[in-house]
Structures are given as C-alpha cells and as structure tokens.
Chains A and B, each alone.
Chain A
Amino acid sequence: MFNYNSAGGLALPHRRRFLQEAGLGFGSVALASLLHGDTAAAAPVDQLAQKPPHFPGKVKSIIWLFMTGGPSQVDTWDYKPELQKRDGQPLAGSDPKTGFFTTSGKCLKSPFKWQQHGQSGSWVPEIFPHLSKHVDKMCFLHSMYLKQNNHAPAAIELMCGTNRPGLPALGSWMVYGLGTQNQNLPAYVVLHDTRPRGDDQIWSSGFLPKSYQALALDARRKEAIDNLARDGKHTDAQQRSQLDLIRQLNQEHADVRPTQADLAARINSYELAYRMQMAAPEALDLTRESKKTHELYGLNTLACSTFARQCLLARRLVERGVRFVQIFAGKGTSTDGSVNDVPWDCHTELDTNHRSCGLHTDQPAAALLADLQNRGLLDSTLVIWGGEFGRTSDSQGAKGRDHNPNGFTIWLAGAGVKGGLHYGATDDFGYKATQNKVHVNDLHATLLHLLGLDHTKLTARFNGRDFRLTDVGGEVLKPILS
C-alpha cells in the first residue's frame, strides 16, 4: 500500500486552494460548500496540485530526446583519435560479452568525418550538421554508465534508477514532487512512434498512484489521447447537457456524504476531462504553427517529419506548463539494418544506420534548441539527448557495434547547466567510463536538484520502506551546474 510522506503528501490547504483556484465553470460554490467543515484527516484529493519545491530550482520543464536503441558514443559525441588510428587492431581489455551478442575484440573506427565546432571546440561527426551549431549550449556527460545491457532493462534502469521494473520513473517522481502547472493537460507526456522496448514500464508510476503515470501519445494513432474524442453522433451540446446531468447525479450522491472529499474531486475531474477535450487538441494542433516554424523543424521533409512533429509538440507542451516530455526518437528503416522500436541499434551496419538516424533527428533537435532559445524558454527548460546505453568500441561482425552500458554520452542543454562543458571521460577508445563516472542515480540527483528537489528528501513510502528515485545513491554533479 502506498502512503504519502509528510514532504510529498498533500495537506488540506493545498486541496482547498486547488478547488478554489480551479475556477470551475459551475458547481464551484457547491464544491466549496462540500469542503466546508471538512477535516484534515480526510483523504487527499488532488494529487496533482502544485507543490512548492524544496528550494528554488532553475528548471521548470524537461524534454528528454530519448535516442532509442542506444547510439554509439564514439560515433556521436565522444571523439577518440586513438580508436581512429587503431582500426582493426585488438582492443586491449575488451570483453566480448559486454553486449548482447559477441564482439570481435578488434577496434572499429568511426566511419564519419569529425570536426571541431563552437567556442568550446567540441568534436562533432558529420551526421549532425545542425546540432553542431549548438555545441556551446550542450553540457556533455561522457562518463555515463549503467548495469543492464539489453534495451528494455537498460531503459528501465535509466528512467527508474534501478534495473527492476515496477518502480516509478523520473517523470512520475517529478510530478509527485512538484505537481502540475496546468490542470488541463497531463503533467508528464511521452511521445512515441513505434513503442520502445519496455513500453509502459519505462514511464511507469510504479507503486505511486496512477495520477503520476505518463500520458503516452502515439504519433501513429489518429486519436493521440485515448478517449479524448466523442463518438460521431455525440455532439458537444449533447455531452454538455449530459455532463450537467452527471454533475447533478453526482452532487446528490455526494450531498449525503458531505465528508467524503474525493467525491468532490471526482465531480471536478469530469470538468477537467471536459476541458482537456478542448485544451489537448489545441496543444497538439501543429497547424497553429507558422510555415517557417514547420520548415525550421523539418516537418515538411520526409526524413525527419516524425521526429520534427514530436519536437514541435514538445515545445508546445512545455510552453503550456507540461513538466516532463519524453520523446522516443527516430524511426528505424529497413534499409539500415535497424528495427523500428530500436532505431539506433547498429548491430550490423553502423555507418548507414547512424547516418539515417542522424538524418531523422538532427534537424528537429537543433530546431528545438533554437526555438526554445528564441522564445526564452531555454532559461527554464532543460533538453536532454541520450539513449539507453552506448556501443562497443570493438566491432560486432564487420561493421556493427554491440550494446555497451559501461560508458556512453548524454548531453544536457538549457536551464541550469554549463554549456560547452565536457564532464567525465571514457578511456582512449571510448570503451569504458573512467573519469568522473556518472551513475544513473547521480544524473537523477542532478536533474531533481535542477528542479528544486533534494533527491534525498523526495521519498514515498511503500510497504514500510521509504523509496527514493536515487535509492541510496546519487550525488549532485555540482561542476556542471551553471
């Protein structure tokens, strides 16, 4: 059974304030009277009401561009001249069992042309012509590592802090800790095309109440949000009068039970749902964006239209107060040897695979950074780029790379972090993290810190134990904070 702790739980004033501030179209007087004489011991009503952070945070929203399948660090952001020189030579200390299959033990150089960019002189391969212009915004964590070496378990470890399913994900903890900024939209949104391996477990609320579960929007489905659209014969006017009737029925049901405050919340939730019917399509309607914006993101190009749509949606959602948007990026194409649900998974053809993934993601991601900056949103938004693990520096087969959780790069850009910084390092071949290693718990501690939450205090009790996103680990990466 889940219990609220004193820090994350809701005291009555929050609840009452929420109901007063919710600005209900009708029934608010009745609701207020429902709460009259209520006592603090009744069940908490609105688990999503805004809660004060532990201390002022620099970040209000996070957009995580999840590079599904596991991009290769040595072919994206972690340039290794030594690896380039020793192509085909034995990789000292290589473990053929690092990945899912077996690797050759021989160095495979990056097939891409590399160049330094920006004032930071960061090395970027040719597959990111757009993102290379933003390197000075990026704070690179080159020494990420985790334990799991297959997609679903690794993605779960990366998002939930440990490798076992059933625990709440980062986004759920965020909403649990801070509440929502916009009651008309879900606070935690996942945008995916093909569902990534691990599916709902990656954005699960675990043992936390389902109120903290992500809303997953499937770009392929006509109805992005389940049950948002009425059936064809059900007009707005019909529904409105139907809802009025439901409200009256519910009101009567509640009137004889004036102390049961969750009934009030339930009455309210119909109104929220009704408003979400309006607010969500508006937020998701990209026709409201200019042609120029569409072009900036690459919405009109075949290669990156999917990811462009997702990135632009992310910006629109963040603008409207959504706390955490996670995009499972990219779309595998049958020609580069990758599979739909793990596009970056370059087991056989690293070169074509990463070129194609680059093509699908580079322009939209860069456009997102530029757009957020132009709108002043980058001061309060943090963009994260990274997948569930890295790849082996030695080859799998002739031209592929296997999974490698021992060292990989993610970058953060935007609020609260130092741009152009390269933190931590892998060895000379990019095979394992060696300096300033960053565990998932450290990353999470840092992200929560940026949001104004102390990761050691954000706890939830489940079956007698206080759980944390960071378990008993986690250290805030102070050197990367701006």
Chain B
Amino acid sequence: MNRSLICLLVLQFAGPMAAGQEPAATTKEQLDFFESKIRPVLVEHCYKCHAPEAKIIKGGLRLDHREGLLKGGDTGAAIVPGQPAKSLLVKAMKYDGLEMPPKGKLAESVIKDFETWITMGAPDPRKSDDVPKARTIDIEAGRKFWAFQPVADPTPPKVKYTEWPRDSIDRFVLSRLEEKGLKPVTDANRYTWLRRVTFDLTGLPPSTREIDDYIRDTSPRAREKVVDRLLASRAYGERWARHWLDLTGYADMMGTSNNVYAEFAWRYRDYLIDAFHKDKPFDRFIREQIAGDLMKADTIPERAENITATGFLMVGDVEIVEPDKAKLEADHIDTQVSKIGTAFLGMTLGCVRCHDHKFDPIALTDYYGIAGMLRSSPSTHKIPFGVWSLLNSTDLPETPEQREARLKIEADYEKKITALKAEQSQLAMEKKTVEAELAKVMKDDAKKTELTKRRDELAGKLNPLVGLIQHAEFFRSKAPRAFAMHDGDKPADMPIYIRGNPYAPGAVVPRGVVQVASWGKLPEIPKGQSGRLQLADWLADRRNPLTARVTVNRVWQKLFGEGLVRSVDYFGARGEMPSHPELLDHLATRFMNHGWSQKKLIRAIVLSRVYGLSGLNDESAMKLDPDNRLLWRMNRQRLEAEAIRDSLLAVSGELQPSEGGPGLVLEEPANCGDLALKGVNPPNYTHRKPRASQEYQRTIYLPVMRTNTTDTDRIRNYFDFVNPAQIAGQRSQTVVPTQSLFLMNNDLFRKRARVVTDKLISQHAQPEERLKQLWLTIYNRPMTNEERDRALKFLAELSPLVQANESLLWLELCHALLASNEFVFRI
C-alpha cells in the first residue's frame, strides 16, 4: 500500500505547535501583500485539497485559515512565522522532500512571495470557524469490544438432546442449535470420517490398509487410535507447518526482483515441521519465533532451533532492490509488524503505520512501540556491490558431532575442487602444448586439421570448468546458517514516521505493545536489548486476550472450513463476530490449560461429535442457517494444491518420505546465475534442473518462487495458493477452467494414473476386483452397485475406441476418478 497517501487523520503528535502566536502587529501593507500575493495562490492551488471544499482534507492540513497553517497536518506545522527556511510549506513548494502542489511546481517568484510573507510573520486575517479536533483513542472504551475482553472459561451449557454430545465442544454447538430449534444431521459414515480426519491432519488420504484396519477395529477406542496415529506422524507436521507458512510470506526467494534466492529459508520451514511434529507448546513456539535468539538454551541444538525460529520475521517479501535504504528498512519493519499483528493477534497493525487505526483502538504509538523493537534488530544489509540488500543470516551453533561431520563433508568437497583444478591445469597445459605444435605446422595438412580439432576439444572441455570451479568455490562452506534476527548495536526507541515516511520523523515513542490488549505496564526492556523478548512474552501470555483466541480459531477453520470467527486474520471491529463466542473462549482456555498443546486441541476437536457429522442437507436447517454458521452439518472443503499433488503421489504409492533440507537445487551449477559477486546484481536462481527425488516429495519441500516460475508454483497457483507477498490464514476456493484443464490434461495426472493402473492390472485379474480396489484407493470407500455398473459400461463403451488396449482403458477410468470432485474434495 502506498501509505504516504492514506493519512486522513490529524496527528496528536504533530510536533511543536505554534497556534496562538499572533504577529506583533499587522500593517495594512502586510495585509495587502497577503491579499494580493498569497491568498489567490492558496485559493487557486491549495484549497481543492486543503479546505472544506475538499471531499477529504488531504493530510489533515487546512490552508483556509491561519490556525490551519500554524497547526499543520500530519507532517507538522505548515509555517513557522518568521522562519521560511523552517516552514514545511516553503519546502513543499520548492519540491524539497514534499512536492506541492502536486500538479507542478509554482513559479520561483511565487515561492519568493511566500518566503517574504512568512518572514514578515505570516500576517493572515482569515479566522477558523471549525478547527478539526485531534482524534484520540479511548483505550478504556476500546477494551469493551469482545476481542479485547479477557478470555473467559464458560461452563458448557445444558442441552436437551443429552445423548448427542461426546465432548463439551458438542454441548456448546448443540445448545445454539437447540435455541434455534434445529438439530444436527446424522453422523458421517466411518469411511467418510476416516478420509476426512486423515486429510485434515496429514494432507494425505488413508491407505487401503489403514482403511481396512479402522473398519475392522470395532473397539470403542478405534477413532482415538486413528487420531493418535495421525498426530504422531511426520505428515501431520508437514501439513500444519504449511498452514503456518501461509502466515509468513515464505518463499525461497528474497524479493520479487531478479530471482535472488533465499538460500537458508528452508531451515525455518524445517523448524516448523519439527515444531508441529513434536507439538512444541504454542506459547513457546510464539516466543521462539519473535525472540528465540534472546532466549536461554540448555543445549546446542536448542540454541540452533531458537535462532532458526526467528526466520518468521525474515522470510516475507522484502524489496531488496530498493535503493533508498531508509525506506527499505521502514517497509520491512512494516511487513514484520503486520505479520505479528495478523498471525498472532488478528489485528491489522499495518494500517497504523501512517495513522491511528480507523476502526480499532490501536494508536500510532502502539505501532511504533513494536516497530522500535524491530528497528533495534536490523534484518537486512546492503551488499558491497550494486544497490541491493540481502537478508541477514546467522551461523548456527553445532554440536561437536555435527561439526565433525560437516568438516568431513567440506574436506571431501575440497578434494573435489582440487580435482577440478588439477583437471583444469592439466587440460590447459595440454592445450598449450597443442597450440605450440600447431604454431610450428606450416602447411594445411592432415596434421594441422588433427591438431586444430584437438585444440578445440580441449578448449571445449576447459570452458565449462571455469564455471564449475567458481560454483564449487562459491558453495564451499557447508556451515549451517539461517536467516535470523539479532539485536543491533544500539537498540533504541524510534520516532513515529509521519505518514509512514522515514524522512518525516515525529515524536519518539517508547518501545511497547498494543495498549488495548495489555493488562499492565510492559516489563522494562533491559539496557542494550531490542525488547523483542518482552514483546514475545506479552504475545504468549495467558492474559493476552487475542493470541489464544486467534490460534484456536485458526485450528477450527482448518478442521471445519470456516472459523468460529470467519475473518480468521481479523478480529477487529470490521471483522466478523464469533458464531459461538463461548465455545471460542472454552477452546482458548482449554488450549492454555493444556499447556498450549495444539495436538491436544486438535485431538479433542476431531473426536467431537460435531466434527463427525455428515455433510448432508437438511431442509429446515438450510432455510434458517444456509451458511451453516451453527454447524448443523460438516462443511465440504476442496483440497489445497499441495494436498492434491501429494495425494496423487500417495495414491500411486510413489510418495517418498523426506527429512527436509534445501528445496533450491543450488548444487546444480545450471540453476545458478552469475556467481562472480561483482556484477550489479546478486546471484540468482532458476529451477532448471530439479533433483530427481523432488518429483516424489511432498510439495512443502519444493521451492516456492515468488515469480511462479516452476511447474509446482503453477500447480499451487491454479488452486489458490496464498501469494507469498501477502499473508492470509485462509485460502480462497475458486472454481476456474484452468483447474479443470489441469485435472484433465496435466502430465502429473496421467503419470500417477498410469502407475495406479499398472499395479491394478498386475494385482487383480477380475474387472470387479479391480474396480473395488480402485474405488477404495482413490475414493477411500467401497463402490456402490450403481457405480460398478456405470464403470463397467464406461469400460465397454470405451474399449473399441482404444482398440481394446487394456492398460489404456483402465488408465482412462483411473484418470477420470482422479479428476473428479470426490477426489479433490474432502467431505
């Protein structure tokens, strides 16, 4: 957003105010001067935006009366009587910093007139009728809004249909339904429930064996066993880490320009997978991401983890090409503040960069309080060549074993470099010899032809070696590094940037947090520290009214399709009210009471009765509550891009487990741009040669390019991937023909379908057996008789078209199933 334009409010911090100062005495000459030289210019060039005739008073500045000029707007007083050099109005007219009027600079003589006028004390007979009042935020009134109220622990309500609830969650839901005279639809069948919970928890379909195990398991704990198995899987970590990445702006590229690769971003991604996998307590998870580098660690791996976690604040889109480094810094801090606001607090803090929030009780001081902490922890640096900046990275501590292993790898790697160099010098020497011989040959004979050929061969071998050696040397260090935050040399409070502009500093604001969501004074920031640790503690405190609510609501949204608060990223005044405020608080309290364990929260929810409802229709409920806000049935969800691609691999049995690691294939010289580090641009990356293994890895492990240049980026994009320049906790679910084209024609579907088909044909001879197996593999449920008949008819009709080619015949059927709604939706 172009923040410099959106300031509509008058600041209360607009610097020293000169209102009330009257010029000693105003003479008639002075007034004449004003009337002839000043007023007409103001009327003609300024009133359109800076007088009541303007629809919006731009910048909060009124130029139609003397008080307006003296009081000024967002950028402070417009004139300082007697001091033209200090008067912003004159600076703006001179196009020095500000440029006014915007349509073109006025004549020099006019500007001189204004200087003269200000020097004489700015005599001006115009009086104000209504001086706009500065808006102040009433924090106490603001606290009355539901989201800022302390989280309550409501007692689960009584219900009439007592045999229905399984968990207290169900009582909150049922009670609301009963209020409206509605009742929940029937439970989903066991196949549907298993597919649903498997997708929701892992992003993958259940295998036929898992289906079989569950269906055979008639014990009362059957569902719990499934849920515990799923929660324990690494796939769970992979799935939920990807959800979190949507809130970070993660990509394997730093900015959008010139494909500058973000070499260490993957470490943050792996940190997330691990954190979700081992169910890191969420309050701890928050603290580490904001201030892990400032936290005490007992072990070396823990220290490395803490540092890596702060990648949260680093991985977003940063415009590293911005030559104006003050602006770059301010913009990146804004990304960070906005991210903290959205991810943890459900507040649009970004709006407050330029003005007090228009809808919520959040003031500029809140924004710049947090911004000061981040400004005290610089996160980019300019490279020594060109105008670019890069994200800061930190060496990660290693255990002695890790270090030993790494040094061994590096030693082997050095041998490779030595070998390459030896080859180079040997070839060079040989070439020299050949050239010397060639120089001696006088005649154009066979010998000359042969020598020339040999020389060219050698040159052909030598040429690529230069690049290979450069590449090998560039990446010779294997020391673990991560994009990470660290406190700068001089942590300090920062000034408000008036209208977000770093060149218009206003009053200095003490570092702090969002007042309306605070319960007391922020503990003092130790000298020499940024304050991120105090920010982290405040975010992750039980008393913070937003954090737990926002978090449990995000979890709910992933499991039900919609949040209890549907605007998952925004809990403010213009967001949505919770459909079940008491349930939200119940979940938040329970979450905190259970050690901020996300797994315990998810476990409780997916084992509830309401989660197990079918998606079937109910006429009367549909009439009263067509949006299913009251949860009388389960919402259907389309799979995300990642889940579609991953499921194809799962269904075909080709999915390969991964331990993580870099998604960028930097070890392949063909993927790297110029590594000379002396051109104007930093090295860049093009995903030309993927690693062979990447075809079979889950999508989260594949690189994310902001410019959507890889095949995987394109798949992500067909299915509503969150643009990594934005952050959003919920993806939209569009329906566009490009998705259908993808399902119908993309190679991925044909390839995976072929593998499924080959297995099917080799394992089962009878068509009916094959069909059963196919339905179970792809739809994860038994086939109905109607479906069997239809499929057999399809095969019979298609057979002549494919010359009875059995493999092709089954391929088409398998592909049709994979491309159908039932596969790409979870119901």
A439 to B816, CA, bound (A): 51
The reply to whether A210 and B717 form a contact with Cβ atoms under 8 Å apart is yes
User: How distant is A396 from chain B, measured CB to nearest CB, in Å?
Assistant: 12
CB neighbours of B813 from chain A (8 A): 245
B822 at the interface (CB under 8 A from A): yes
B319 at the interface (CB under 8 A from A): yes
The reply to whether A228 and B741 form a contact with Cβ atoms under 8 Å apart is yes
CB neighbours of A200 from chain B (8 A): 706-708, 717
The reply to whether A245 and B794 form a contact with Cβ atoms under 8 Å apart is yes
A201 to B732, CA, bound (A): 18
A156 to B723, CA, bound (A): 14
Closest Cβ neighbor of B820 among chain A residues:
A249
CB-contact partner of B706 in A165, A207, A437, A465, under 8 A: A165
A420 to B738, CA, bound (A): 41
CB-contact partner of B256 in A201, A227, A239, A257, under 8 A: A201
B38 at the interface (CB under 8 A from A): no
B351 at the interface (CB under 8 A from A): yes
A42 at the interface (CB under 8 A from B): yes
The reply to whether A45 and B626 form a contact with Cβ atoms under 8 Å apart is no
Closest Cβ neighbor of A262 among chain B residues:
B735
The segment from B1-9, B466-474, B522-530, B766-774 that touches chain A is B1-9
CB-contact partner of A254 in B105, B720, B821, under 8 A: B821
Closest Cβ neighbor of B615 among chain A residues:
A257
B98 at the interface (CB under 8 A from A): no
A480 to B568, CA, bound (A): 44
**Chain A: interface size category:** 35 or more
B797 at the interface (CB under 8 A from A): yes
User: How distant is B771 from chain A, measured CB to nearest CB, in Å?
Assistant: 13
User: How distant is B812 from chain A, measured CB to nearest CB, in Å?
Assistant: 5
The reply to whether A463 and B570 form a contact with Cβ atoms under 8 Å apart is yes
B437 at the interface (CB under 8 A from A): no
The reply to whether B744 and A273 form a contact with Cβ atoms under 8 Å apart is yes
User: How distant is B106 from chain A, measured CB to nearest CB, in Å?
Assistant: 11
A229 to B742, CA, bound (A): 10
CB-contact partner of A226 in B351, B729, B741, B825, under 8 A: B741
8 Å CB contacts to B: which residues of A216-235?
225-231, 233-235
B798 at the interface (CB under 8 A from A): yes
The reply to whether B707 and A230 form a contact with Cβ atoms under 8 Å apart is no
B460 at the interface (CB under 8 A from A): no
User: How distant is B627 from chain A, measured CB to nearest CB, in Å?
Assistant: 6
CB-contact partner of A227 in B736, B746, B794, under 8 A: B746
The reply to whether A241 and B567 form a contact with Cβ atoms under 8 Å apart is no
CB neighbours of B56 from chain A (8 A): 472
Q: Mark B131-143, 1 if CB is under 8 A from A, else 0.
A: 0000000000000
B453 at the interface (CB under 8 A from A): no
CB neighbours of A29 from chain B (8 A): none
The reply to whether B104 and A211 form a contact with Cβ atoms under 8 Å apart is no
A151 at the interface (CB under 8 A from B): yes
A209 at the interface (CB under 8 A from B): yes
Q: A210-B734, A249-B820 are in contact. Are A41 and B616 (CB under 8 A)?
A: no
A162 to B3, CA, bound (A): 9
The reply to whether B734 and A201 form a contact with Cβ atoms under 8 Å apart is no
A248 at the interface (CB under 8 A from B): yes
CB neighbours of B157 from chain A (8 A): none
A260 at the interface (CB under 8 A from B): yes
A348 at the interface (CB under 8 A from B): no
Q: Mark B318-340, 1 if CB is under 8 A from A, else 0.
A: 01011100000001000000000
The segment from A49-57, A106-114, A128-136, A263-271 that touches chain B is A263-271
Q: A231-B750, A250-B821, A265-B735 are in contact. Are A258 and B725 (CB under 8 A)?
A: no
**Chain B: interface size category:** 35 or more
The reply to whether B737 and A204 form a contact with Cβ atoms under 8 Å apart is no
Q: Mark B1-37, 1 if CB is under 8 A from A, else 0.
A: 1100110100000000000000000000000000000
Closest Cβ neighbor of A235 among chain B residues:
B801
CB neighbours of A463 from chain B (8 A): 342, 348, 567, 569-570, 728
The reply to whether B744 and A239 form a contact with Cβ atoms under 8 Å apart is yes
User: How distant is B667 from chain A, measured CB to nearest CB, in Å?
Assistant: 24
CB neighbours of B827 from chain A (8 A): 257
Q: Mark A91-104, 1 if CB is under 8 A from B, else 0.
A: 00000010011000
The reply to whether B744 and A97 form a contact with Cβ atoms under 8 Å apart is no
The reply to whether A253 and B816 form a contact with Cβ atoms under 8 Å apart is no
The reply to whether A209 and B732 form a contact with Cβ atoms under 8 Å apart is yes
A382 at the interface (CB under 8 A from B): no
User: How distant is B251 from chain A, measured CB to nearest CB, in Å?
Assistant: 11
Closest Cβ neighbor of B801 among chain A residues:
A237
The reply to whether B744 and A270 form a contact with Cβ atoms under 8 Å apart is yes
B804 at the interface (CB under 8 A from A): no
Closest Cβ neighbor of A228 among chain B residues:
B741
The reply to whether B820 and A250 form a contact with Cβ atoms under 8 Å apart is yes
The reply to whether B802 and A473 form a contact with Cβ atoms under 8 Å apart is no
CB-contact partner of A269 in B566, B735, B791, under 8 A: B735
Q: A262-B733, A269-B740 are in contact. Are A436 and B104 (CB under 8 A)?
A: yes
B703 at the interface (CB under 8 A from A): no
CB-contact partner of A257 in B258, B570, B636, B738, under 8 A: B636
A238 to B753, CA, bound (A): 15
The reply to whether B801 and A238 form a contact with Cβ atoms under 8 Å apart is yes
A468 to B595, CA, bound (A): 43
The reply to whether B812 and A149 form a contact with Cβ atoms under 8 Å apart is no
The reply to whether A150 and B323 form a contact with Cβ atoms under 8 Å apart is yes
The segment from A191-199, A292-300, A350-358, A359-367 that touches chain B is A191-199
The reply to whether A209 and B572 form a contact with Cβ atoms under 8 Å apart is no
User: How distant is B94 from chain A, measured CB to nearest CB, in Å?
Assistant: 11
B815 at the interface (CB under 8 A from A): yes
A200 to B103, CA, bound (A): 32
CB-contact partner of A238 in B616, B732, B790, B812, under 8 A: B812
8 Å CB contacts to A: which residues of B774-797?
787, 790-791, 794, 797
A229 to B745, CA, bound (A): 7
CB neighbours of A197 from chain B (8 A): 257-258
Q: A151-B257, A210-B718 are in contact. Are A166 and B726 (CB under 8 A)?
A: yes
B622 at the interface (CB under 8 A from A): yes
8 Å CB contacts to B: which residues of A66-117?
97, 100-101
The reply to whether A472 and B570 form a contact with Cβ atoms under 8 Å apart is no
A228 to B738, CA, bound (A): 9
Q: A149-B323, A201-B725 are in contact. Are A226 and B730 (CB under 8 A)?
A: no
8 Å CB contacts to A: which residues of B796-817?
797-798, 801-802, 808, 812-813, 815-817
CB neighbours of A198 from chain B (8 A): 256-257, 707
A120 at the interface (CB under 8 A from B): no
The reply to whether A152 and B342 form a contact with Cβ atoms under 8 Å apart is no
CB neighbours of A161 from chain B (8 A): 2
A246 at the interface (CB under 8 A from B): yes
The reply to whether A207 and B572 form a contact with Cβ atoms under 8 Å apart is no
A229 to B6, CA, bound (A): 47
The 6 closest A-B pairs by CB, nearest first: A166-B725, A199-B707, A273-B740, A165-B725, A152-B257, A41-B626
Given contacts A150-B257, A464-B570, 7 further A-B contacts (CB under 8 A): A1-B566, A200-B717, A231-B745, A238-B812, A258-B617, A266-B735, A437-B102
Between A and B, 19 residue pairs with Cβ closer than 8 Å are A2-B732, A150-B323, A152-B256, A153-B256, A153-B257, A164-B725, A186-B738, A201-B725, A207-B726, A215-B738, A237-B801, A238-B812, A242-B819, A245-B791, A249-B817, A249-B822, A273-B744, A464-B575, A473-B5
B interface with A by C-beta (< 8 Å)? 1-2, 5-6, 8, 56, 102-105, 255-258, 317, 319, 321-323, 331, 342, 348, 351, 359, 387, 566-570, 572-575, 615-617, 622-623, 626-627, 636, 680, 706-709, 714, 717-720, 723, 725-726, 728-730, 732-747, 750, 787, 790-791, 794, 797-798, 801-802, 808, 812-813, 815-817, 819-822, 825, 827
A interface with B by C-beta (< 8 Å)? 1-3, 39, 41-42, 45-48, 97, 100-101, 149-153, 156, 161-167, 186, 195, 197-201, 204, 206-207, 209-211, 213, 215, 225-231, 233-235, 237-239, 241-243, 245-246, 248-250, 252-254, 256-260, 262-263, 265-267, 269-270, 272-274, 276-277, 433-437, 439, 463-465, 471-473
